[in-house]
Structure 1
Amino acid sequence: MLRENGFNYEFDPAKCDECGGRCCTGESGYIWINDDEIAVLADFLGISQNLLKERFLFKTKRGYSIKECEFQGGFACVFFDKVKKNCSVYEARPSQCKTFPFWEHFKNNLRELQAECIGVNLL
């Protein structure tokens, strides 16, 4: 079980195999990725940073976000493997993905988190 200071829940990453990628699918939203993470992901995919940006990212006023595609009546990250139901770039995923479910937003939105993540247990 993983725990982070300041959070009143813990996370069991073993549950990821059972959930079908609910943290990667659902409502549309931003999947932020910074310049360093862009370099890591481009290298992982074996493509240039410019090609990564062109094919898989979009620019906002705040920075870059990973594109989404339609999936089961909602959306999924373009790197979500729809067959395996997991992240196809797991080793190179951005910090937003790495830090889930320990986001400040969920400190005051535990019901939302519990609905999204079966690996969360309240302390």
Structure 2
Amino acid sequence: MQSLIKKEGFTFAFDQNACASCNGACCRGESGYIWVSKEEIEKIADFLEISSDEFITNYLKKEGYRYSIKEIKVQQEYICIFFDEKSGCTIYPVRPKQCRDFPFWDRYKNGKNLKEVCKECIGIVL
């Protein structure tokens, strides 16, 4: 049985059960930014049982006035520092909004960039 999520303004649905078999396609690939807000920094640091300063120093990179979660380059791809091959996202309960919202990002609204999101996410249902 599919567990489909639909959102207004999007021409596709998302089957969240597909996440179990995709090996973190949305957590790896080309380098990019995984933006975190001040509130998210505090929540993730609390979850990891470290200070916000320690979290910023060890797990984030500053881009302009914002922070992004670091990535690790493995062969030809970049992987979120919190993605584990065996267990998936190690901060899943407190993952950033950007991660929680995927694949329902504005760049995919109203059918825009549909080929791109379908290539990246096997859970897309047209």
Question: TM-score if structure 2 supplies the norm length?
Answer: 0.93
Structure 1 segments of 4+ aligned residues over 3 angstroms from their partners: none
1:101–1:113 contact (8 Å) kept in structure 2: yes
Specify every segment of 5 or more residues in structure 2 that has no aligned partner in the other structure, as ranges. Answer: none
- 1:49 pairs, out of 48, 52, 56, with 52
Asked whether 1:117 is paired with 2:121, we answer yes
Residue 62 of structure 1, CA deviation: 4.1
Match of 2:33 in 1: 30
Match of 2:63 in 1: 60
Residue 73 of structure 1, CA deviation: 1.5
Higher mean displacement: 103-112 or 43-52? 103-112
- 1:96 pairs, out of 98, 104, 108, with 98
Please list the CA deviations of residues 5-57 of structure 1 after superposition, one character each: whole Å capped at 9, or x if unmatched: 11111001110000000000000000000000001000000000000000000
State the percentage of identical aligned residues: 45
Name the aligned partner's letter for residue 49 of structure 1.
S
Specify every segment of 5 or more residues in structure 1 that has no aligned partner in the other structure, as ranges. Answer: none
CA RMSD of the aligned region, Å?
A: 0.9
Residue 98 of structure 1, CA deviation: 0.2
